[in-house]
Amino acid sequence: MNRRIALVLLAVVALVLGGTYAWSAVVAPTASCTPAPAVKQVTGGSKITVSCVVPNPPSETVTATETVTATATATVTETVTPAPSSTATATQTSATWACVVPLGSNCGAYPSSAAIPMSNGHNTYVANQDTGAHGTETVYANSPSDWKVVADLADCGGCVQTYPDVQQLTNNWTGSGWGGGNQDTPWRSLSTLKVHYNETSPSTGASYEFSPDVWGPGPWDIMFWVDTHGRCNEGAFGPSLLGHLTIDGQNWTAHAYGTEIILVLDGAGGSGTCAQQPSGTINIKAGLDWLYAGGFISGTTMSQLNTGWEITQSSGQTFTVNSYSIEAN
C-alpha cells in the first residue's frame, strides 16, 4: 500500500471512530454525526474515491428574552339600572311651564287663536279660582290647551273648593261676530257652539268633576258634567230633576241646584249614574236649546264660557288639560 492510500484509509478510520483529520476539520459550529456517517469507497484503477455522507448539524435553538412594556387601558362598563316606572295619574304635556300661579291668580291673557274664535288677545285666561279652599293649589300653564293643576285640598264634606279652568269671556260681540265689541254673545244666533277637550284626571284619591260652565243666559250658570268622580249624587248636582235629553247620541240628565243648572252625562248604568269621559265633544248649543225650549231658561246671551274642574277634595293629585278648543259659528 503506498502512502497516498494509507492516508486516505487513516482519514476514513478517523471519521468512523469519531476522530478529526486535519484537512477535514469542521469550522464552528461543531457538529457530531450520530449515527456514524456512511462511508462509500469506489476503486478505479490506481484511484480510490472515498465519499462520506455526514447529516446536517441540528438546527440551532435560540431562546430569546423580550422585554415588553405594555400600557394597560382599562375599560369600565357601568350598568345603570333605571328606577322603576311610576304610574302617573296625569299626563304632563310639557317639561317646563311659562306660567306658574297659586290660588286666586290667573295665567294670561293669551293671544287670539283659531282654537277659540271669540278670543281677542285680552279675554282668554287659565284661572286658578278659589271658591273656599282648605289647602293649596298651583296652576302650571303654557296655553289654554296645555296646562295642569296640582291640588292638595282637605276633605270639607263635599264643598266645592276650587275651579281651575280655561276662562273665556264672550262679551266682545260686535253684532255680527267677535272682535272689538262690548256685547254678550247671543248664543241663540249661533249655528254651532261646541267644546272639544282632552284631559287626564286622577282615578283615585280625589273628588271632582270636569265641566264647561256657561254664564248667562239670565241669572243662570249652566254646567255640563262629563267626567265625574266621587260626586255622583243629588247632594252634588241638586235634588230638582228637570228631565232627560239626548245630545249627539248621548244621554244626559238635567238637574237644578239653586240658580245653577247641571246637565250630567249619564254613565253606563243610565240616569242616576255619571260618566267618566276624559275626552270628547260637548255640544253646548244643543243643551242650551233644550233648556230654552223647556222653559228652564229665558235669556239668550252668554258672557263667559269656562271649562275646568270643580274640585272638592284632592291629596296632592295632578289634573292635566292635554288639548282644548271651542268651535263656534
- Predicted confidence band of residue 94 (pLDDT cuts 50, 70, 90): low
Extents of the domains making up the chain: 3-53, 99-328
Q: What is the pLDDT of residue 312?
A: 98
Q: Where are the beta strands (DSSP E) in the chain?
A: 38-44, 47-53, 99-102, 106-108, 124-130, 135-143, 146-153, 162-169, 193-200, 206-215, 221-225, 227-229, 240-247, 250-257, 260-267, 270-274, 279-283, 304-328
Residues near 68 by beta carbon (within 8 Å), at least 6 away in sequence: none
Residue 216 C-alpha cell reads as 248667562
Q: What is the spatial distance between Cα 151 and Cα 34, in angstroms, rounded to a whole number?
A: 104
Predicted local distance difference test score (pLDDT) of residue 221: 94
The pLDDT value given to residue 4? 39
Q: Is 13 helix (H, G, I), strand (E, B) or coil?
A: helix
Model confidence at 306: pLDDT above 60: yes
Mean model confidence pLDDT for the chain = 80
Total-model pTM:
0.72
Reported as a pLDDT band with limits 50, 70 and 90, residue 18 is very low
The CA–CA distances, whole Å, from 327 to 197, 248, 283 equal 11, 15, 9
What per-residue confidence (pLDDT) applies to 281? 98
| Cross-strand bridge partners of residue 49 | 42
Set of cell numbers at residue 73: 387601558
Domain 99-328 falls in which CATH fold? Jelly Rolls (2.60.120)
Any idea what the Cα angle at residue 307 is, between residues 302 and 312, rounded to 5°?
120
Comparing 150 with 83, the larger pLDDT belongs to 150
